[in-house]
C-alpha cells in the first residue's frame, strides 16, 4: 500500500471515530456558536465608542474563525496523542507500515475537514447575527488549511509532552486563551501597551488574523505576506509534531 493509501485508511478510521463520539461532535461546533452569540449578538459592537468591541463588525470576523482554527486542533490532537500514549496504541502503530508523519497527516486532514465545516458555520452565523461582510476570497481556504496544519503540529507536541489526556487539554487551553485574545483578533493593537507590539508578532495566530482581515471587505492590509509566513510556520510545526509523536510508548 502506498503512503497515500495508508493515510487514506487512517483518515477513514479517524473520521468514523469522530462521528461516533457524539459529545465531541456537539462541542466542536457548539463552542464557536456560543462565542458568536455572546460577543457578536449580545455584546454589540459600538464603532466610535470606547472600550472593547468598538470596531466595525468586519474587524472581528478573523477572531471568530480563529477560534475554531486554534482551539479545535490544539485540543483534539493533544488529547488524541495523549490518549494513544495511555492506551499503548503507538506501540501497536510501530508494528505497521504507517509512519508517525503519515499518522499525523491523516489526523490533520480529518481536522481540516471538521474545521472547514465549522468555519463555514461560523461565517454564516456572523453574517446573520452581526451583519458583517464576509471574506469570500479563495485565499481564505489556504489560510484555514495552513492554520489547521500549524496548530495540529502544536497539539501533537502538547500530547507528547504532557502526562495525561487531561493535562493535554489543560495545556491547550492555557496556550490557546492568551493567543486568542492577544493576537490581533478581538483586541486592537492600539489598546495594548506599546511594548507588547513586538511580542504580538511572535504569535502565529497574529498572521492568520491579519491575513484574513485583509481579505474582509472594509478592512485593509496585505493578504499575501501573512499567508507566506503562516505556510512556513505550518510546515515547521508539522515536522516538529511528527517528530514528537512517539513511535513506541
Q: Residues 150, 175: contact at Cβ < 8 Å?
A: no
* Position 219 in a domain: yes
Predicted confidence at residue 248, as pLDDT, reads 61
Regions of the chain where pLDDT drops below 70? 24-27, 36-54, 248-249
Residue 164's CB is within 10 A of a number of other CB atoms, namely 14
Q: Is residue 203 part of a domain?
A: yes
Q: How many domains does the chain have?
A: 1
**Cβ–Cβ under 8 Å, residues 78 and 171:** yes
Residue 156 within a domain: yes
Establish if 80 belongs to a structural domain. yes
On whether residue 13 sits in a domain, the answer given is yes
Per the structure, the complete domain to which residue 70 belongs is given by 3-244
Q: Is position 249 within any domain?
A: no
Give the separation between CA 243 and CA 220, rounded to whole angstroms: 38
Distance in angstroms (rounded) separating the CA atoms of residues 247 and 88: 10
Kindly report, residue by residue over 185-241, the tens digit of the pLDDT: 888 887 888 888 788 889 999 999 999 999 999 888 889 999 999 999 999 999 999
> Quick check: pTM over 0.75?
yes
Whether 152 is covered by a domain: the verdict is yes
Question: What pLDDT does residue 42 have?
Answer: 52
Does residue 62 fall inside a structural domain? Answer: yes
* pLDDT score recorded for residue 180: 86
Amino acid at each position: 500500500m502506498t503512503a497515500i493509501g495508508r493515510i487514506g485508511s487512517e483518515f477513514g478510521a479517524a473520521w468514523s471515530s469522530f462521528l461516533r463520539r457524539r459529545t465531541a461532535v456537539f462541542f466542536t461546533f457548539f463552542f464557536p456558536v456560543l462565542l458568536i452569540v455572546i460577543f457578536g449578538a449580545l455584546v454589540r459592537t459600538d464603532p466610535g465608542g470606547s472600550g472593547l468591541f468598538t470596531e466595525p463588525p468586519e474587524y472581528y470576523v478573523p477572531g471568530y474563525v480563529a477560534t475554531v482554527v486554534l482551539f479545535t486542533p490544539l485540543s483534539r490532537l493533544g488529547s488524541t496523542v495523549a490518549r494513544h500514549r495511555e492506551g499503548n496504541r503507538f506501540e501497536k502503530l510501530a508494528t505497521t507500515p504507517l509512519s508517525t508523519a503519515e499518522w499525523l497527516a491523516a489526523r490533520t486532514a480529518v481536522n481540516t475537514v471538521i474545521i472547514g465545516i465549522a468555519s463555514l458555520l461560523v461565517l454564516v452565523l456572523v453574517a446573520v447575527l452581526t451583519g458583517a461582510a464576509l471574506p469570500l476570497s479563495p485565499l481564505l481556504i489556504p489560510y484555514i488549511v495552513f492554520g489547521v496544519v500549524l496548530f495540529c503540529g502544536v497539539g501533537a507536541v502538547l500530547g507528547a509532552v504532557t502526562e495525561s489526556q487531561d493535562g493535554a487539554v489543560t495545556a491547550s487551553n492555557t496556550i490557546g486563551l492568551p493567543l486568542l485574545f492577544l493576537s490581533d483578533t478581538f483586541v486592537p493593537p492600539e489598546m495594548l501597551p506599546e511594548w507588547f507590539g513586538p511580542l504580538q508578532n511572535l504569535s502565529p495566530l497574529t498572521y492568520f488574523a491579519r491575513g484574513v482581515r485583509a481579505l474582509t471587505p472594509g478592512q485593509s492590509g496585505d493578504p499575501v505576506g501573512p499567508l507566506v509566513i503562516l505556510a512556513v510556520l505550518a510546515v515547521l510545526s508539522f515536522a516538529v509534531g511528527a517528530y514528537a509523536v512517539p513511535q513506541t510508548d
